[in-house]
Amino acid sequence: MNDMLLSAGIALVCALLFGKLLLPVLRRLKMGQKILEIGPKWHKSKEGTPTMGGFFFMLAITVAVVITGWHDAVNGQYTHLFILLFAWVCGGIGFVDDLAKVRKKKNQGLTAPQKLLLQLSASAAFLAALRVFMPDSKLAGGEIAIPFTSIVLSVSWPVFLTLGILFVAGFINAVNITDGVDGLCSGVTLPVTVFFGAIAFSAGNTGNMVFAGALAGGLLGFLWFNFHPAKVFMGDTGSLFIGGALCGLAFAADQPLILLIAGLVYLFEVLSVVLQVTYFKLTGGKRIFKMSPVHHHFEMSGWGEKKVFFVFTAFSAVFCALAWFG
């Protein structure tokens, strides 16, 4: 527990420090976010706000994990470094996408196929590394625990790899879609991070504890700059890093399916997009929501960004509490 709290404290202080140092740099480099024309009209006032602020907490988390997880690495425990590496690979994909957006001066960087191919490749590499470097993991043997039951499914490695790739890539995109209101992705993620920290503590998994603490502290520090009105956006750089980090924590804990409960807010977000697009095509232009993802629906219904933040974060905490019993 002490390592987890220390990791959170170091990441919090570092995120505040890196934010203070790097925000002026992003402004000088004119790394401004382009706002979609089809988004809420009042979001146009945010155009030009620096993006790629995810680096604030990514660097902070890295410092915290290396410092507090050093003794684990010396003793041959590499779980926290394994998760960190995968999260950085995902964040790297987001960085390439963000950089393309800035250069093109559009809110469209990589094409959807390019982005998906990179995410699927990263997911495949992650699961292969899981099998090689964590051979004692139940998942490495194709055993998948079903939440709220004592059922453990046993599948062949090719089946597990296929399902796992789709699961990881899909969840990372769900987290990415949630990043559409000031502070929202960070707020929703904080309870999920605490949840995985609690799982790690109950299992005595110091590597997961260290990483969960660092992620919580880093995001809390980033909120100082990203809470409404946001001075900086995390960009795909940050949201894809978060998605990779949560998948890393879940798989390292042998509990990937618990993300479907603890991360239910992310799933609602991506499901709202799927339902909206499908219904629109089937009905020739009718809509279920005023706008999707669903956080924009509530904005269009008169909710302010702070209300969206607090309500969605509260629901995330409730779902994490529910997931604990699973």
Q: Write the pLDDT tens digit of every residue in 19-54.
A: 999 999 988 887 766 655 555 665 666 667 888 999
Peptide bond into 229 cis (omega under 30): yes
Q: Which residues pair with 153 in a beta bridge?
A: 144
Angstrom distance (rounded) from CA 322 to CA 90: 28
Mean pLDDT taken over the chain: 89
What is the rounded average pLDDT of the residues 220-233?
A: 95
Question: Does the pLDDT at position 93 exceed 60?
Answer: yes
Contact 196, 249 (CB under 8 A): yes
Angstrom distance (rounded) from CA 182 to CA 178: 10
Contact 80, 207 (CB under 8 A): yes
Terminal CA-to-CA distance of the chain, rounded, Å? 22
Q: Which residues pair with 32 in a beta bridge?
A: 50
Q: What is the pTM of this model?
A: 0.93
Query: CB under 8 Å to 154, separation ≥6 — which residues?
Result: 141, 142, 143, 144
Question: Does the pLDDT at position 120 exceed 70?
Answer: yes
Cβ atoms within 10 Å, residue 2 = 9
Angstrom distance (rounded) from CA 202 to CA 26: 40
Question: Does the pLDDT at position 118 exceed 60?
Answer: yes
Structure tokens at 10: 């170091």
Residue type, 130: L
Peptide bond into 293 cis (omega under 30): yes
Closest CA to 188 of 54, 317, 55, 321: 317
Closest CA to 175 of 69, 87, 109, 289: 87
Main-chain phi, psi angles of 181, to 5 degrees = -135, 145
DSSP state of 135: T
What percent of the chain is predicted at pLDDT more than 70? 93
pLDDT at position 2: 82
Band the pLDDT of 146: cuts 50, 70, 90: confident
Closest CA to 138 of 20, 269, 289, 250: 250
Higher pLDDT, 127 or 320: 320
